[in-house]
Amino acid sequence: MKWLDVLHNDPISWLLEPENPSVRHWTLRDLLDRPAEDKEVRAAQVAIPAYPPVAGLLATQESDGYWVKRDYYLPKHSGTFWVLSLLADLGLTAEHEQIRRACEFMFTFQHEDGAFGRRRRIPGQGTVWDAQEAPCSQARITRFLIQFGYQDDPRTRAAVDWLLRTPRDHGMWHCRAADRHGKSRSHYRGCLRATIDVLRMAVLDAEAAAHPATTRGAAIVCDLLMEPSMGKYHVGIPWTRLEYPYADYSLTAALDALARLGYTLEHPEVSAAMEYLLSRQSAEGTWSPDYIPVQPPFDVGQPGEPNKWLTLDALRVVRQYCGGS
Protein backbone atom coordinates (compact mmCIF):
# COMPACT_ATOMS: atom_id res chain seq x y z
CA MET A 1 0.00 0.00 0.00
CA LYS A 2 1.60 3.21 -1.23
CA TRP A 3 0.52 5.38 1.68
CA LEU A 4 2.33 3.15 4.18
CA ASP A 5 5.62 4.32 2.66
CA VAL A 6 5.33 7.66 4.48
CA LEU A 7 5.11 5.95 7.88
CA HIS A 8 8.03 5.11 10.15
CA ASN A 9 6.52 1.69 10.71
CA ASP A 10 3.36 -0.27 9.91
CA PRO A 11 0.86 -0.22 12.82
CA ILE A 12 -1.92 -2.12 11.04
CA SER A 13 -1.46 -5.36 12.98
CA TRP A 14 -1.64 -3.36 16.24
CA LEU A 15 -4.91 -1.76 15.15
CA LEU A 16 -6.33 -5.16 14.20
CA GLU A 17 -5.90 -6.66 17.66
CA PRO A 18 -9.25 -8.20 18.67
CA GLU A 19 -9.29 -6.59 22.13
CA ASN A 20 -10.67 -3.40 20.56
CA PRO A 21 -13.35 -4.49 18.05
CA SER A 22 -14.25 -0.90 17.16
CA VAL A 23 -10.77 -0.02 15.95
CA ARG A 24 -10.48 -3.43 14.30
CA HIS A 25 -13.79 -2.89 12.46
CA TRP A 26 -12.83 0.53 11.08
CA THR A 27 -9.30 -0.59 10.23
CA LEU A 28 -10.73 -3.39 8.11
CA ARG A 29 -13.22 -1.03 6.47
CA ASP A 30 -11.31 2.21 6.00
CA LEU A 31 -7.68 1.13 5.75
CA LEU A 32 -7.94 -2.33 4.19
CA ASP A 33 -11.06 -1.75 2.02
CA ARG A 34 -13.01 -4.72 3.33
CA PRO A 35 -16.72 -4.52 2.42
CA ALA A 36 -19.39 -4.22 5.09
CA GLU A 37 -20.58 -7.78 4.45
CA ASP A 38 -17.08 -9.25 4.94
CA LYS A 39 -17.15 -11.94 7.62
CA GLU A 40 -14.38 -10.38 9.72
CA VAL A 41 -15.86 -6.89 9.41
CA ARG A 42 -19.28 -8.06 10.52
CA ALA A 43 -17.82 -10.08 13.41
CA ALA A 44 -15.92 -7.03 14.66
CA GLN A 45 -18.98 -4.80 14.41
CA VAL A 46 -21.19 -7.29 16.23
CA ALA A 47 -18.60 -7.41 19.04
CA ILE A 48 -18.62 -3.62 19.63
CA PRO A 49 -21.58 -3.51 22.09
CA ALA A 50 -19.86 -6.11 24.27
CA TYR A 51 -16.53 -4.25 24.24
CA PRO A 52 -16.13 -3.47 27.98
CA PRO A 53 -15.99 0.36 27.72
CA VAL A 54 -19.06 0.37 25.44
CA ALA A 55 -20.92 -2.23 27.49
CA GLY A 56 -20.25 -0.18 30.60
CA LEU A 57 -21.74 2.91 28.97
CA LEU A 58 -24.80 1.10 27.71
CA ALA A 59 -25.39 -0.33 31.18
CA THR A 60 -25.61 3.17 32.68
CA GLN A 61 -28.19 4.51 30.22
CA GLU A 62 -31.44 5.59 31.88
CA SER A 63 -34.72 4.03 30.73
CA ASP A 64 -35.75 7.26 28.95
CA GLY A 65 -32.65 7.06 26.77
CA TYR A 66 -30.33 9.59 28.37
CA TRP A 67 -27.10 9.46 30.35
CA VAL A 68 -26.55 11.22 33.70
CA LYS A 69 -28.95 14.17 33.25
CA ARG A 70 -32.04 15.01 31.21
CA ASP A 71 -30.15 18.05 29.94
CA TYR A 72 -28.63 16.26 26.97
CA TYR A 73 -25.46 18.38 26.96
CA LEU A 74 -24.47 18.21 30.63
CA PRO A 75 -22.27 17.16 32.26
CA LYS A 76 -19.76 18.31 29.67
CA HIS A 77 -17.79 15.46 28.09
CA SER A 78 -19.89 12.72 29.73
CA GLY A 79 -23.55 13.64 29.14
CA THR A 80 -25.82 12.16 26.45
CA PHE A 81 -24.55 14.41 23.66
CA TRP A 82 -20.95 13.39 24.31
CA VAL A 83 -21.74 9.70 24.79
CA LEU A 84 -23.65 9.49 21.50
CA SER A 85 -20.96 11.38 19.60
CA LEU A 86 -18.42 8.81 20.74
CA LEU A 87 -20.61 5.73 20.28
CA ALA A 88 -21.36 6.77 16.69
CA ASP A 89 -17.66 7.07 15.89
CA LEU A 90 -17.05 3.66 17.49
CA GLY A 91 -19.48 2.03 15.06
CA LEU A 92 -22.78 1.48 16.86
CA THR A 93 -25.95 1.98 14.80
CA ALA A 94 -29.71 2.13 15.27
CA GLU A 95 -29.73 -1.65 14.88
CA HIS A 96 -29.11 -1.51 18.62
CA GLU A 97 -32.27 -0.80 20.62
CA GLN A 98 -30.50 1.42 23.14
CA ILE A 99 -29.22 3.65 20.36
CA ARG A 100 -32.75 4.02 18.98
CA ARG A 101 -34.01 4.94 22.44
CA ALA A 102 -31.25 7.55 22.86
CA CYS A 103 -31.96 9.09 19.47
CA GLU A 104 -35.67 9.39 20.23
CA PHE A 105 -34.71 11.14 23.46
CA MET A 106 -32.59 13.58 21.45
CA PHE A 107 -35.44 14.29 19.03
CA THR A 108 -37.55 15.59 21.92
CA PHE A 109 -35.22 18.61 21.96
CA GLN A 110 -35.78 19.53 18.31
CA HIS A 111 -37.73 22.66 17.34
CA GLU A 112 -40.13 22.79 14.40
CA ASP A 113 -37.49 24.61 12.32
CA GLY A 114 -35.08 21.67 12.73
CA ALA A 115 -32.82 23.22 15.35
CA PHE A 116 -31.95 21.36 18.52
CA GLY A 117 -32.14 23.38 21.73
CA ARG A 118 -31.72 22.88 25.44
CA ARG A 119 -34.30 23.63 28.08
CA ARG A 120 -33.31 25.74 31.07
CA ARG A 121 -35.03 26.40 34.38
CA ILE A 122 -35.28 30.16 34.98
CA PRO A 123 -36.59 31.59 38.28
CA GLY A 124 -40.08 32.95 37.79
CA GLN A 125 -40.40 31.48 34.29
CA GLY A 126 -40.12 27.77 34.89
CA THR A 127 -38.49 25.59 32.23
CA VAL A 128 -38.01 27.43 28.94
CA TRP A 129 -36.30 26.77 25.63
CA ASP A 130 -32.81 28.21 25.28
CA ALA A 131 -32.91 30.74 22.45
CA GLN A 132 -29.17 30.52 21.78
CA GLU A 133 -28.11 29.26 18.37
CA ALA A 134 -25.53 26.48 18.71
CA PRO A 135 -24.39 25.29 15.27
CA CYS A 136 -21.49 23.30 16.73
CA SER A 137 -23.71 21.04 18.84
CA GLN A 138 -26.35 21.04 16.06
CA ALA A 139 -23.74 19.74 13.62
CA ARG A 140 -22.52 17.05 15.99
CA ILE A 141 -26.05 15.89 16.77
CA THR A 142 -26.90 15.77 13.05
CA ARG A 143 -23.66 13.92 12.36
CA PHE A 144 -24.28 11.16 14.88
CA LEU A 145 -27.89 10.80 13.73
CA ILE A 146 -26.61 10.18 10.19
CA GLN A 147 -23.97 7.78 11.48
CA PHE A 148 -26.58 5.84 13.44
CA GLY A 149 -28.73 5.43 10.33
CA TYR A 150 -31.25 8.29 10.55
CA GLN A 151 -30.03 10.06 7.40
CA ASP A 152 -33.39 9.84 5.60
CA ASP A 153 -35.54 10.58 8.64
CA PRO A 154 -37.46 13.85 8.04
CA ARG A 155 -36.29 15.13 11.42
CA THR A 156 -32.66 14.67 10.42
CA ARG A 157 -33.29 16.33 7.06
CA ALA A 158 -34.74 19.31 8.92
CA ALA A 159 -31.62 19.45 11.09
CA VAL A 160 -29.37 19.41 8.02
CA ASP A 161 -31.43 22.16 6.35
CA TRP A 162 -31.18 24.35 9.46
CA LEU A 163 -27.40 24.14 9.38
CA LEU A 164 -27.11 24.89 5.68
CA ARG A 165 -29.12 28.09 6.00
CA THR A 166 -27.35 29.46 9.10
CA PRO A 167 -23.75 30.34 8.17
CA ARG A 168 -22.86 33.98 8.80
CA ASP A 169 -22.12 36.44 6.04
CA HIS A 170 -18.39 35.77 6.38
CA GLY A 171 -19.00 32.10 5.52
CA MET A 172 -18.36 30.55 8.92
CA TRP A 173 -20.81 29.28 11.51
CA HIS A 174 -21.00 30.94 14.91
CA CYS A 175 -23.43 31.11 17.84
CA ARG A 176 -25.06 34.36 18.93
CA ALA A 177 -24.39 34.08 22.66
CA ALA A 178 -22.27 36.34 24.80
CA ASP A 179 -18.99 35.00 26.11
CA ARG A 180 -18.38 34.17 29.78
CA HIS A 181 -17.54 37.81 30.51
CA GLY A 182 -20.89 39.00 29.15
CA LYS A 183 -19.44 40.56 26.03
CA SER A 184 -20.95 40.05 22.60
CA ARG A 185 -19.17 37.53 20.42
CA SER A 186 -19.65 39.72 17.39
CA HIS A 187 -15.94 40.65 17.55
CA TYR A 188 -15.01 37.10 16.57
CA ARG A 189 -14.49 36.39 12.88
CA GLY A 190 -16.44 33.17 13.18
CA CYS A 191 -16.11 29.90 15.06
CA LEU A 192 -13.60 27.46 13.62
CA ARG A 193 -14.90 24.63 15.79
CA ALA A 194 -18.49 25.06 14.62
CA THR A 195 -17.43 25.36 10.98
CA ILE A 196 -15.35 22.17 11.11
CA ASP A 197 -18.21 20.39 12.87
CA VAL A 198 -20.53 21.36 10.00
CA LEU A 199 -18.00 20.07 7.45
CA ARG A 200 -17.66 16.77 9.34
CA MET A 201 -21.42 16.35 9.16
CA ALA A 202 -21.65 17.45 5.53
CA VAL A 203 -19.19 14.87 4.20
CA LEU A 204 -21.58 12.12 5.34
CA ASP A 205 -24.48 13.52 3.31
CA ALA A 206 -24.29 14.08 -0.45
CA GLU A 207 -26.79 16.95 -0.45
CA ALA A 208 -24.96 18.79 2.32
CA ALA A 209 -21.53 18.11 0.80
CA ALA A 210 -22.56 19.71 -2.49
CA HIS A 211 -24.18 22.77 -0.88
CA PRO A 212 -22.55 26.19 -1.57
CA ALA A 213 -22.38 26.90 2.17
CA THR A 214 -20.23 23.80 2.66
CA THR A 215 -17.97 24.74 -0.25
CA ARG A 216 -17.43 28.21 1.17
CA GLY A 217 -16.83 26.93 4.70
CA ALA A 218 -14.30 24.37 3.48
CA ALA A 219 -12.32 27.04 1.64
CA ILE A 220 -12.15 29.11 4.82
CA VAL A 221 -11.02 26.15 6.96
CA CYS A 222 -8.35 25.29 4.40
CA ASP A 223 -7.04 28.86 4.49
CA LEU A 224 -6.84 28.71 8.30
CA LEU A 225 -4.92 25.42 8.56
CA MET A 226 -1.92 25.90 10.88
CA GLU A 227 -2.80 29.59 11.34
CA PRO A 228 -1.35 30.58 14.76
CA SER A 229 -3.79 33.33 15.79
CA MET A 230 -6.81 31.16 16.52
CA GLY A 231 -8.16 33.37 19.29
CA LYS A 232 -9.77 35.41 16.51
CA TYR A 233 -11.92 32.41 15.60
CA HIS A 234 -13.49 31.64 18.98
CA VAL A 235 -10.92 28.96 19.82
CA GLY A 236 -7.73 29.43 21.78
CA ILE A 237 -6.05 26.07 21.33
CA PRO A 238 -3.41 25.68 18.60
CA TRP A 239 -3.64 23.46 15.57
CA THR A 240 -0.59 21.63 16.87
CA ARG A 241 -2.47 20.09 19.82
CA LEU A 242 -3.67 16.57 19.12
CA GLU A 243 -6.60 15.31 21.19
CA TYR A 244 -9.05 12.45 21.48
CA PRO A 245 -12.04 12.42 21.73
CA TYR A 246 -12.66 15.64 19.77
CA ALA A 247 -14.15 17.91 22.41
CA ASP A 248 -12.86 20.98 20.58
CA TYR A 249 -11.54 21.03 17.04
CA SER A 250 -8.68 18.96 15.69
CA LEU A 251 -6.21 18.86 12.85
CA THR A 252 -7.06 15.26 11.97
CA ALA A 253 -10.81 15.98 11.81
CA ALA A 254 -10.29 19.06 9.64
CA LEU A 255 -7.95 17.29 7.23
CA ASP A 256 -10.27 14.31 6.97
CA ALA A 257 -13.26 16.50 6.10
CA LEU A 258 -11.30 18.51 3.54
CA ALA A 259 -10.03 15.33 1.86
CA ARG A 260 -13.58 14.04 1.51
CA LEU A 261 -14.53 17.36 -0.07
CA GLY A 262 -11.85 17.06 -2.73
CA TYR A 263 -8.86 18.88 -1.23
CA THR A 264 -5.40 17.49 -2.00
CA LEU A 265 -1.74 18.08 -1.20
CA GLU A 266 -1.71 20.56 -4.08
CA HIS A 267 -3.22 23.04 -1.63
CA PRO A 268 -0.21 24.54 0.22
CA GLU A 269 -2.10 24.81 3.50
CA VAL A 270 -3.08 21.14 3.36
CA SER A 271 0.49 20.15 2.49
CA ALA A 272 1.86 22.07 5.48
CA ALA A 273 -0.71 20.56 7.81
CA MET A 274 0.06 17.06 6.57
CA GLU A 275 3.77 17.64 7.06
CA TYR A 276 3.08 18.51 10.69
CA LEU A 277 0.75 15.54 11.22
CA LEU A 278 3.32 13.12 9.82
CA SER A 279 5.99 14.67 12.04
CA ARG A 280 3.95 13.67 15.11
CA GLN A 281 4.08 9.91 14.47
CA SER A 282 6.25 7.71 16.66
CA ALA A 283 8.95 5.34 15.49
CA GLU A 284 6.24 2.63 15.54
CA GLY A 285 3.97 4.61 13.19
CA THR A 286 1.50 5.50 15.93
CA TRP A 287 0.12 8.79 17.25
CA SER A 288 -0.31 9.97 20.85
CA PRO A 289 -2.68 12.71 22.06
CA ASP A 290 -1.44 15.81 23.83
CA TYR A 291 -4.78 16.20 25.59
CA ILE A 292 -7.65 14.04 26.84
CA PRO A 293 -10.87 15.89 27.81
CA VAL A 294 -11.70 15.90 31.51
CA GLN A 295 -14.02 12.99 32.37
CA PRO A 296 -14.63 11.53 28.89
CA PRO A 297 -17.42 8.94 28.62
CA PHE A 298 -14.90 6.16 29.24
CA ASP A 299 -11.17 5.68 29.62
CA VAL A 300 -9.65 6.50 26.23
CA GLY A 301 -6.05 6.46 27.36
CA GLN A 302 -3.61 9.07 28.61
CA PRO A 303 -1.78 11.97 26.97
CA GLY A 304 1.56 10.96 25.57
CA GLU A 305 0.63 7.29 25.19
CA PRO A 306 0.07 5.59 21.80
CA ASN A 307 -3.64 5.82 21.10
CA LYS A 308 -5.43 3.46 18.73
CA TRP A 309 -8.34 5.80 17.98
CA LEU A 310 -6.11 8.78 17.20
CA THR A 311 -3.77 6.57 15.17
CA LEU A 312 -6.71 5.21 13.17
CA ASP A 313 -7.93 8.75 12.42
CA ALA A 314 -4.46 9.91 11.47
CA LEU A 315 -4.04 6.94 9.11
CA ARG A 316 -7.40 7.64 7.48
CA VAL A 317 -6.05 11.09 6.66
CA VAL A 318 -2.67 9.80 5.48
CA ARG A 319 -4.34 7.23 3.23
CA GLN A 320 -6.60 9.82 1.60
CA TYR A 321 -3.82 12.29 0.83
CA CYS A 322 -0.94 9.93 0.14
CA GLY A 323 -2.59 7.31 -2.06
CA GLY A 324 -4.71 4.28 -1.37
CA SER A 325 -2.86 1.63 -3.33
pLDDT, one tens digit per residue, over 244-287 is: 999 888 999 999 999 999 999 999 999 999 999 999 999 999 99
CB atoms within 10 A of CB 219: 15
- Flag whether 118 is in a domain: no
pLDDT of residue 205 exceeding 70, the answer is: yes
- Flag whether 103 is in a domain: no
Q: What is the pLDDT of residues 28-75, one digit of tens each?
A: 999 999 999 999 999 999 999 999 999 999 999 999 999 999 999 999
Residue 66's closest CA among 108, 37, 36?
A: 108
Tell me how far apart the alpha carbons of residues 99 and 103 are, in angstroms, rounded to a whole number: 6
Q: Write down the pLDDT at residue 234.
A: 87
**Any residues with CB less than 8 A from the CB of 77 and at least 6 apart, and which?**
247, 293, 294, 295, 296, 297
Cα diameter, the chain = 64
**Any residues with CB less than 8 A from the CB of 57 and at least 6 apart, and which?**
67, 83, 87, 297, 298
Residue 54's closest CA among 299, 280, 235?
A: 299
Work out the average pLDDT over 20-29: 98
- Flag whether 11 is in a domain: yes
Q: Write down the pLDDT at residue 121.
A: 63
Residue 305's closest CA among 277, 284, 276?
A: 284
Tell me how far apart the alpha carbons of residues 4 and 279 are, in angstroms, rounded to a whole number: 14
- Flag whether 17 is in a domain: yes
Q: Write down the pLDDT at residue 178.
A: 45
Q: What is the pLDDT of residues 95-145, one digit of tens each?
A: 999 999 999 999 999 999 999 998 766 666 565 656 567 899 999 999 999
What is the count of structural domains for the chain?
1
CB atoms within 10 A of CB 63: 6
Q: Write down the pLDDT at residue 236.
A: 87
196 with 210: CB under 8 angstroms?
no
Structural domain range at position 283: 1-50+237-325
- Flag whether 208 is in a domain: no
Average pLDDT value for the chain: 92
> pTM higher than 0.85 for the full model?
yes
Tell me how far apart the alpha carbons of residues 267 and 260 are, in angstroms, rounded to a whole number: 14
Work out the average pLDDT over 13-29: 98
- Flag whether 263 is in a domain: yes
Rg (C-alpha) for the chain, rounded Å, is: 19
- Flag whether 56 is in a domain: no
Tell me how far apart the alpha carbons of residues 88 and 68 are, in angstroms, rounded to a whole number: 18
Strand partners, 167: none
Mean pLDDT lowest among 14-28, 195-209, 211-225, 229-243: 229-243
- Flag whether 166 is in a domain: no
